[in-house]
């Protein structure tokens, strides 16, 4: 009995020694892995160290492939978007001429006929002119030679002079003077030389859609009710055809012309109302930016700068803002009162103030504004 106990105790001691040895080896292996991890992390940090690196830079780097994909898709689909705008606008114009204009000439009074003809054609001319100018006019690009400009920064992407209010467009792969944004519906950047055309197109397109929606409201209600009657009569006709006898006749059906007319009116009203809401909101947004003398990009930059200076007890002043009314005069190119007619209410290809390289005080501004920073 004692020999068996001694043998058992000897086996247990040997097992405990083996366990201790395995535990030591396991801890030693974990320490080696941890040391290798810290060493590799240190090497990676030493190779990629940048004092300007922060969370925003890391996120931008991670999303760079997505940005590249979006930029290239937008570049190639710009032609499709332009064709879509032309196609939808042409369809609305065709419906108005084919379906609505004969009805207007038959039912409206001469005064209302003159009003619709005059306003409708004026609005259409303004839409076509400003859209054509917006997509064909270059937004403006700074010169590539570094000797042409002095005292300006250099774009880190295209390694070219970057004057004030100039930003690099990743889709066009060029710097744009007074860049607002890249518009896929124009397949072009909105910048210094075509910003007015873009805003005018948005404004007159919104006005045209509101005009069609308001003028065609009664026609839309009648057409929608007629389509519902079509569906009901079609259902009744199918039921009668299933139980038809020799003395029963199916109810009358609408002709193809009537169906096409009613569906065209519904299509016109729904499309114009949707565009009026969406494009109207965009137009109001850009109108607010123009009133403040900012672009879409400058709005975000000025907001951050305003918050930074507010923490220091300073007030930010936009150096390119001359007051709400003067900002509109500068944007529209109104120097004298008659320009409100010849340059705003009528098609005009006049150039904006300045070259986009420097920002001197426009002649239509009567007083100098406050400087950039004010305590």
Residue 372 has pLDDT above 50, yes or no: no
The count of residues in the chain is 375
Q: Alpha-carbon torsion 201, 207, 213, 219, what sign?
A: negative
C-alpha distance from residue 256 to each of 56, 109, 135, 259, 289 (Å): 60, 29, 38, 5, 49
pLDDT of residue 361: 82
Residue 26 has pLDDT above 90, yes or no: no
Mean predicted confidence (pLDDT) in 123-135? 97
pLDDT of residue 375: 30
pTM for the model stands at 0.77
- Which one of 183, 189, 209, 272 is the catalytic residue? 183
Distance (Å, rounded) from C-alpha 319 to C-alpha 373?
A: 9
- Axis-axis angle for helices 324-332, 256-292 (nearest 10): 120
Query: Where does the pLDDT of residue 35 fall: very low under 50, low under 70, confident under 90, or very high at 90 and above?
Result: confident
| Top-ranked range on mean pLDDT: pick from 42-56, 121-135, 168-182, 259-273 | 121-135
Residue carrying structure tokens 């944007």: 331
CB within 8 Å of 349: residues ≥ 6 apart: 133
Q: Which helix (H) or strand (E) holds 373?
A: strand 373-374
DSSP string, 152-217: -EE-TTT-SEE-TT-EEETTTTEEETT--EEETTTTEEE-TTTHHHHHHHHHHHHHHHHHHHHHTH
pLDDT of residue 52: 60
Q: How much of the chain exceeds pLDDT 70, in percent?
A: 76
pLDDT of residue 371: 45
Told to judge if 158 belongs to the known catalytic residues of this protein, a careful annotator would answer no
Residue 12 has pLDDT above 70, yes or no: no
Residue 354 structure tokens: 């300045």
- Axis-axis angle for helices 110-136, 195-215 (nearest 10): 150
Distance (Å, rounded) from C-alpha 322 to C-alpha 320?
A: 7
Average pLDDT, the chain: 83
Higher pLDDT, 50 or 334: 334
What is the torsion angle, in degrees rounded to the nearest 10, for the CA atoms of residue 203, residue 205, residue 211 and residue 217? -130
**8 A C-beta contact, residue 192 and residue 140:** yes
Distance (Å, rounded) from C-alpha 103 to C-alpha 78?
A: 37
Residue 235 structure tokens: 């259902």
**8 A C-beta contact, residue 275 and residue 209:** yes
- The distance in angstroms from the start CA to the end CA of the chain is 99
pLDDT of residue 359: 84
Largest Cα–Cα separation, the chain: 129
Query: At CB < 8 A and 24+ separation, what contacts does 234-241 make?
Result: none
Query: Where does the pLDDT of residue 272 fall: very low under 50, low under 70, confident under 90, or very high at 90 and above?
Result: very high
Beta-bridged to residue 127, according to DSSP, are none
């Amino acid at each position: 009995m004692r020999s068996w106990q001694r043998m058992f105790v000897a086996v247990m001691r040997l097992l405990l020694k083996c366990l201790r040895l395995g535990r030591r080896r396991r801890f030693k292996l974990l320490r080696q892995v941890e040391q290798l991890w810290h060493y590799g992390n240190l090497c990676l940090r030493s190779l990629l160290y940048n004092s300007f690196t922060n969370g925003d830079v890391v996120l931008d780097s991670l999303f760079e492939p997505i940005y590249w994909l979006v930029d290239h898709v937008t570049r190639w689909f710009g032609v499709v978007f332009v064709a879509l705008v032309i196609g939808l606008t042409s369809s609305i114009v065709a419906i108005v001429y084919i379906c609505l204009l004969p009805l207007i000439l038959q039912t409206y009074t001469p005064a209302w006929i003159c009003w619709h003809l005059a306003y409708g054609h004026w609005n259409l001319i303004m839409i076509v002119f400003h859209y054509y100018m917006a997509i064909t006019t270059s937004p403006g690009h700074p010169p590539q030679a570094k000797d042409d400009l002095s005292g300006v920064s250099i774009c880190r992407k295209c390694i070219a002079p970057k004057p004030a209010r100039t930003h690099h467009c990743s889709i066009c792969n060029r710097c744009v003077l007074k860049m607002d944004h890249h518009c896929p519906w124009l397949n072009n950047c909105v910048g210094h030389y075509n910003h007015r055309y873009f805003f005018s197109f948005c404004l007159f397109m919104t006005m045209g859609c509101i005009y069609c929606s308001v003028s065609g409201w009664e026609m839309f209600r009648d057409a929608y009710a007629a389509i519902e009657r079509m569906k009901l009569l079609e259902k009744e006709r199918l039921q009668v055809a299933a139980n038809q006898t020799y003395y029963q006749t199916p109810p009358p059906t609408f002709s193809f012309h009537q169906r096409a007319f009613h569906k065209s009116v519904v299509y016109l009203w729904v499309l114009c109302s949707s565009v009026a809401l969406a494009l109207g909101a965009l137009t109001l947004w850009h109108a607010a930016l123009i009133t403040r003398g900012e672009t879409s990009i400058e709005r975000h930059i000025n907001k951050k700068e305003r918050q930074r200076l507010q923490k220091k007890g300073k007030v930010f002043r936009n150096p390119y803002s001359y007051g709400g009314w003067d900002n509109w005069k500068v944007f529209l190119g109104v120097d004298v009162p008659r320009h409100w007619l010849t340059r705003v209410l009528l098609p005009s290809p006049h150039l904006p103030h300045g070259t986009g390289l420097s920002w001197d005080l426009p002649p239509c501004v009567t007083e100098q504004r406050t400087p950039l920073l004010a305590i």
